[in-house]
Structure formats: structure tokens, C-alpha cells
Structure 1
Amino acid sequence: MVSSGRLRPPDIAGGRPRERARTCARAALGLAILLACKTEQAVTDGPVPADIPASSLTVYKFARVVTAPDQVVEGGAVVVDGKRFHSVLAAGEPLPIGARIVDHGRYTAIPGLIDAHTHITFCWDPAWGDRAPHDPFQIAQSKAQLLPLVAKNLRTLLSLGVTTIRDLGSDNQLDLETAARVEAGELVGPRIFGAGDGVWSSRLAPKESTRPGQADGVEQVAATVRREIDAGVKVVKLWASTGSDDDLSGERTYSYDEIKTAVDIAHAHGIPVAVHDTLGTVTDDIVRAGADSVEHPRTLSPDTLAHMRAQGVAYVPTIHHNRYYRDNIERFRFSPDKRAAFDAFIADNIATARAAHAAGVTIVMGSDAVYTAFGESTRELDVFVRDVGMTPMEALATATTDAAKLLRAEDRIGAIRPDYLADFVVIDGDLSQIEHIHNVVAVVKEGAVVFEAPAGK
């Protein structure tokens, strides 16, 4: 569940002069040091980097630094300059004179985590009743009602070490509005790669639905994709099959030509495409059309997996998501007989993920978190290790380097490297056990401390 730790507002991102950004970052970091009762140390020896004044640097010392999966610097230190990583120092390497030092002693640093499938605007306030609403896109709720709950979801994700999310479907582009507010510093939360309303067929929902994004036929699909791109989406989401909540069906809703049209237009604008396919019955066409990822599929044949690997199409299985629904059947007013259906789906989902992993398909972590599930978002990593057969480092890749590549952001997030955005998580323990990834001590996003666990936690 969500820790009751302290959350810190980050620096306002974008357009700020470099010196002002450094000043704000140093102020936030200094406050974090005092609150954590850590002694600030003045370094008396060691070279000053030639390209930058040492006084603008902050050095975080660790028992180990996981710069990327399977890349560990024992006794290493992370050097941060404003919002970006400056360097990683090996054990015993001289520290820059005049730099600010934060000694995290026995702890481990890992890159900020990426959740590649969320619905950040799907909220539920217990004040609305003792059971969750059966209104996934929250059409009945006003923005005034939703925004405080969305802000809470964002803070919850930060407390888990999630510093970036790919949000795959909102109502009236509320995720894009939220992304802009996070970027402006008005909200504290992970950066958001939003899909806006997404693109969906009338076969998925009634024609009289007032939710935007409905498109039937190649021409409507093309027009809707262009509208979403003009609105500022960072990913195009396409629902190519039925299936959601307790509906575990997977009937086709889009033809190959409709999928291909969406993919071609999005890719022409440099935007990746994620496609929903609950059962996997449409995945061959999704791969042939050149989409970037397929979401949820319950079963995939060996031939399909081989094609996915050859074409570089990522698989986002969202396994834990169905466990959440299964464990909350009464809360969601699902029929009791759905428990067995969820169990069967989960078993197939795990078997498919195991086969995909063995076949070398890129698997990316996505929680598909909704309502009260945001505090469980990183539990998908436990599933990958315990049930799918990954090592902890392989699981870490699904939420860092591989996820960053899927977002087309591997040049700035997903690893602790010079000039990357300074996103990292301080955890208690190493990654010999995946459970240690949940022992979050602090979270830094773009060089600012945005979460700290309470003392003694």
C-alpha cells in the first residue's frame, strides 16, 4: 500500500534558465538533506570537473549504483547537475571539491521506474460509496471532482519509485492536461506520455456514447488519429478488440487496414502506437501493421511471438491487473463466477509471458492501474520474477531501459547516465531479491527530491 512518506514539489520544468534551475534544485536537495538528518560534507580534496563549477554539483554516495540492468557500480556515487546526471563515480574515485554530498550509506540507487500502461485519471473516492464506480472513463464525474484524486494517484506512483508513465486512455484528454500541469510544476508526479482519448470503434461501445475518440472505417480512424496528434499525444492508443474490466472477451473491433492507417499516420509524426488486444486474436495484424506494442494478450502462438521479436514489437502483459480485479470482485459488483474466469485468464497470461520471455520478445512492465490499484503498480515486477521466470535484473529492464525504448525516450530516461534526466530511486537492499525494489527510501526526479519515506520505515 501507499507509504505515508513526505512528497516534495519538483522544480518547474521547461524553459527555465540553467542557473535558476540549479539554484532551485540545490535548495530542494538541501532541504531534503536536513529533513533526512544527513550531514552535509565539504570535500577537501579531489579534482574539480573542467566543464562545470563544482559548487553546482550534488554527489549522492551509495553502497551500490545500478546504472542500468546488470550494470552495477559497487560503492559508487551519482553526481547530479541541476536536472541531469553529470557522472557516475567508481568507489574511491575523487569527489569534486566544493560539491554538496548526500551519503546514502548502505542503500542502492536504481534508475527511476517507468510504468508503461496506466490510466491515471481513473479514480475512485470512497466517499462516493462503498463500491467502486462501474464507469471506467469517469464520464459522470466533473474535472473538479477528479483532479484531487488524479493528484493523489500521481503522488502514490512517485512513492513507489515510478517517475514516468505511459497513460493509455483518458476522457476528454484529461491525461494531457495533467501532463502539462506536471511539466509546469503545478502538480507533483511522474512525467506523463499521454494517449488522450485513444481511438476506438463503435463495436467497442454504443454509437450514442459521448466519449471522444470513436472512429469507424479508415477515413474516420485517420481523422481521429490526426486530431489526437494535434492535441499533443505522445502515444496513439488503439482498441483493436473488446475486453475490459470483467469482460474477458476479445472480439475484433478493427481491421488490418484500420490498424495500419493509424500506425502509418502516427509513425509519420514520430509517435509510437500501442494496441489493445485482450485475447491475442488480432496480434498478427497488429505486428504486420508495424505497431510498437500490444497490450494484454492472453494467448500468443509461437509464430506470433517469433514475428514480434523479428519486428521489435513489445509485449505489455498487465498480469497483476487481473489479479486486482479478481481480488475485488465484490467491490466492482462483478458476478461471483468471474473469479474462475479471472484465474483462467491469469494462468494463460502468465504462460504466454513465459513463452514470450523464452522467445526473446521484449516485455515491458505495465500495471494497467485503475481506481485503488495505483499502490500496487510495481507488483507486476514480482510477477515477472516469481511466475514468468525473469531474474530481478531482467525485471528491472522491463521498467527502465526497455520501457524507455518503447517510449522513444531511451536517450534521456531509463538509466543513470551522463546528461540523462536525473531520475533515480533509493532502495534499502540490493536486487538479489525483487522484493527489495519496494523498499523505497527516497525518490529523485529531475534532480529534486520528490518523495522520502518516514524515518524508521
Structure 2
Amino acid sequence: MLIAAKRLIVGDGKTELQNGAVRLDGRGSIGDIGTFAGLVKKYPDDEVQDYGDATILPGLIDMHVHTGYWWSEPDADSYRDDPYRIAYFALDVLNRALRTGVTTVRDVSSPGGCLRGLRWASAGRGYLTLPRIVHCGRGICFTGGHGWPLVGGVVEADGCDNLRAAIRRELRDGADWIKILTSHRTHTPEYTQEELNAAVDECHRRGVKICVHAGTHPSIQMCIDAGFDTIEHGTFMTREQAVQMRDKGIAWVPTIIAYTYIYEQLCDAATREAVAGGIDGSGLSDFDYFKAAAEAYRHNFKLLADTGVTVLAGTDMVLHGAPVMPVARELAYMVEYGLSPLQAIAAATGNAAAVLGLQNKTGMLKEGLCADILVAGGDVLHDIAALGRPLQVYRAGRPML
């Protein structure tokens, strides 16, 4: 089967093809790509699905999700200690994300076993069709550190030996990556340099990558020095730190939308003195922090991206009522703040796949790769918001809409 559209984006950050087409090989992979005219001539007997004034691009990759985070739900107590409800909750999140064009996720902490079970049911047995799942198991923080109240989703570990033991448990239980949390909303780092070094060493000697929640300058620097593979948020990163990350091969997942969305909702709540988007009045105490964070992204993103640090798309949307994995909106912020549309799309396709080690499976429109494809209505290179208007999503060649 051939799928065609007025334009095609490969996902490498530079290649666009006018009047392009992709051949689906019927076995879940991309059989060929090229111009529509060329592929029709080459495969004259193939069925054709022409989407017209649309853009064909690789399925999107969300590098920062918490699929099983139920804590902000209005009936949160009903999920506590009920792994079946948590699994159904996560299943619904993944299904909704897939319909928006997200075909791969990296879950950077969810309740233990949740993602392992869903991946078994989808990739392992084929009972479900879900986005490809890469997961970190549970996050790891120090006692009382960022994330500690998320019982079941984050575990506490102090000292180098205990950190290594916690990492080993997550790997034993099926984690693909490890997630460390080491900063909250102050400039005081949480883990020590020795502990961060030990965490990275334990992962890298096992051939496993490790990511870290670090938002403020001192914590970011410590994580750069330790050699983490990706830094999540990096909200108040300096240009010098971005250069160091580029030189050390550390990627940045800014999660612009998470902070900007919360700031916008807090502005609304402050105006109306009422609940807004899952954030109640108790969140107003964080107003100044999220205001500073949103402004930091707006003013600094292009300066940091221009250093050449690898930028990846992640959404971190965990609040009740918030949009599910709005990668299209994250990319729209990247374009608004200075990236070209092709560069932004690469942050959620080819570049993300490479960091995940999946470049031979997904992330680009390339012969032999999995047919994970988004067909967006319109011209995303002139209207990046068109990414949020999917006409069709293919997961391993199967239409999802």
C-alpha cells in the first residue's frame, strides 16, 4: 500500500520531500519512500491512500511521560493499592496518546510494574496496540527529596551503596533506563556529587542509560559533571552548561509545556480564585517559581539550543484535565522560541530515537524501519500547529484512526 501527501518529512532535521509517498510493506515496516510519481510507477498494482494537502512524518516520540501517575485524579484514593485500576488508567493514557500521533514513549517513572505489564501485553503478546514503551521503572530520590510522596512511583535511597542497590532492583524488575531526581524548587541540590557519580557509574557499567530531574543551576552542573545521559527540565540552565552538555553528549529534555501550562493555569486560578485545570488554590504558592520557569524558557531556549546541545521533546503532563502527551504543543513552543519546524520535529523523531538507541527501528521515514507514521492535516513547516490535527496515525503499519 502507498500513502501519499503533498509533503513528506523524513525526521532527520533537514529533509523534506514534496509530493512524497511511503510504501507500507504489509508486515509493519516501511518498504520504500520517494516521490508519489516515482513510487506509483515502481509499484503500479499497490493500493493508494492519498491524503492530499497534508504532511507525512514519523510518529512522534515523547521522551518524558509518567503514564501511570494517578495522584492528581479527583478520585485518587480509589487508585491507591489497586494495581489493576492503575494499569487501566495508564492504558487509557497510552491509547489517547497514540491517537494524537505519539507512537513511542519513554516513561520516566510510574508505579512499579505498570509499564512492564503493558509492554508485555502489547509488544510481547499483541493483545493491545500501544505506543512503543521504553521505561525507567520507578524514579529514585533521596529521603524527603523531590517526588517522595509519590508512593509506588518513586523510591527513596540514600548513600552510594543504597543508590546502587535501588538501581539494581529497578533493572531486575525490567527497567530500560534509570531515573534519578535531584532538585526541587530551590537552588539547594539534593543528592551529593558522590551519590550522583555512583548512580551514573552503576548504570553505565551495566550498559544502561540514566536520566535525571534537575532544574536549577547547581544541580544541573553536578549532573553534567557526573555524566548523565539526559537532563530533564534544565529550567535554569546556562549557556556554558549547554555547551558542556553538547561536548559530553548529554541531551536536554526541556519539557517547556509542563512549566508553561502550569504557569498559565496558575494565572487563571489567581484571577478567578478557583480551581483551574486540575490545580487548586494551594498551587498559588508556586506561582513565582512557575512564572520564572516559563519566562526562562521563553528568553533562553534559543540561546541554549543554538549551542548545538541535542534537544528532545518531552511533555511531563501529569495533571488531571491537562492534555495527554501534547508533543505537538511542545514542538510549537520550540518553534515559537527559535527552532525551525524541521529542527523541532527532529526533537520528537530522529534525534529522540537515536538517544533511545532505536534509530534502527523508528524515528525516521526510512526503508526497513517500523511504519510508525503520523499524517498531519496541512503544512507543518508553515503551521507547526498542524501537528495537532492528525488525519491518520499508523502504528507498525496499522491505521489507528
TM-score if structure 1 supplies the norm length?
0.78
1:172 Cα deviation after fit: 1.9
The answer for the alignment partner of 1:76 in structure 2 is: 20
Q: Does 1:236 align with 2:181?
A: no
| Aligned-partner Cα distance in 2 for 1:209–1:63 | 46
CA deviation string 1:110-131 (max 9, x = no partner): 1110000000111379662xxx
The answer for the alignment partner of 1:360 in structure 2 is: 308
Q: Does 1:288 align with 2:225?
A: yes
1:209 Cα deviation after fit: 8.5
The answer for the alignment partner of 2:50 in structure 1 is: 103
Which one-letter code corresponds to 1:442 in the other structure?
Q
Counterpart secondary structure, 2:165: helix
1:99 Cα deviation after fit: 2.7
Counterpart secondary structure, 2:244: helix
1:232 Cα deviation after fit: 1.5
| Aligned-partner Cα distance in 2 for 1:206–1:309 | 28
Q: Does 1:197 align with 2:138?
A: yes
Asked if 2 retains the 8 angstrom alpha-carbon contact of 1:250 and 1:277, the reply is no
| Aligned-partner Cα distance in 2 for 1:78–1:266 | 38
**What is the aligned counterpart of 1:66 among 1, 4, 9?**
9
Instruction: State the identity %.
Output: 26
Q: Structure 2 vs 1, CA of residues 164 and 376 (structure 1 numbering), >3 Å: closer, same or farther?
A: closer
Which one-letter code corresponds to 2:103 in the other structure?
T
Q: Structure 2 vs 1, CA of residues 332 and 419 (structure 1 numbering), >3 Å: closer, same or farther?
A: same
Query: Which has the higher mean CA deviation after the structures are superposed, 422-431 or 109-118?
Result: 422-431
Alignment of 1:80-229 (within 5 A): 80-81=24-25, 82-93=27-38, 94-123=41-70, 128=75, 140=80, 142-183=82-123, 184-204=125-145, 211=152, 213-229=155-171
Which one-letter code corresponds to 1:64 in the other structure?
R
Counterpart secondary structure, 2:160: helix
The answer for the alignment partner of 1:39 in structure 2 is: none
CA deviation string 1:282-308 (max 9, x = no partner): 122212222111111221223212111
TM-score if structure 2 supplies the norm length?
0.88
Counterpart secondary structure, 1:76: strand
The answer for the alignment partner of 2:193 in structure 1 is: 256
Counterpart secondary structure, 2:103: strand
Q: CA RMSD in A?
A: 2.4
Which one-letter code corresponds to 1:432 in the other structure?
H
The answer for the alignment partner of 1:391 in structure 2 is: 340
Which one-letter code corresponds to 2:199 in the other structure?
A
Gaps of 5+ in 2: 267-274
Asked if 2 retains the 8 angstrom alpha-carbon contact of 1:392 and 1:434, the reply is yes
| Aligned-partner Cα distance in 1 for 2:88–2:72 | 10
Runs of 4+ in 1 over 4 A off after TM superposition: 124-127, 205-210
1:196 Cα deviation after fit: 0.5
Asked if 1 retains the 8 angstrom alpha-carbon contact of 2:79 and 2:86, the reply is no
Which one-letter code corresponds to 1:200 in the other structure?
C
1:221 Cα deviation after fit: 1.0
Which one-letter code corresponds to 2:364 in the other structure?
A
Alignment of 1:306-325 (within 5 A): 306-325=243-262
Between Structure 1 and Structure 2, whose CA radius of gyration is higher?
1
Query: Which has the higher mean CA deviation after the structures are superposed, 321-330 or 274-283?
Result: 321-330
Asked if 2 retains the 8 angstrom alpha-carbon contact of 1:114 and 1:400, the reply is yes
Which one-letter code corresponds to 1:348 in the other structure?
A
Asked if 2 retains the 8 angstrom alpha-carbon contact of 1:125 and 1:149, the reply is no
**What is the aligned counterpart of 1:269 among 201, 206, 209?**
206
| Aligned-partner Cα distance in 2 for 1:442–1:206 | 37
Gaps of 5+ in 1: 1-57, 453-457
The answer for the alignment partner of 2:350 in structure 1 is: 401
Q: Structure 2 vs 1, CA of residues 207 and 79 (structure 1 numbering), >3 Å: closer, same or farther?
A: closer
The count of aligned residue pairs is: 381
- Between Structure 1 and Structure 2, which shows a larger proportion of helix residues? 2
Query: Which has the higher mean CA deviation after the structures are superposed, 115-124 or 350-359?
Result: 350-359
Which one-letter code corresponds to 2:138 in the other structure?
D
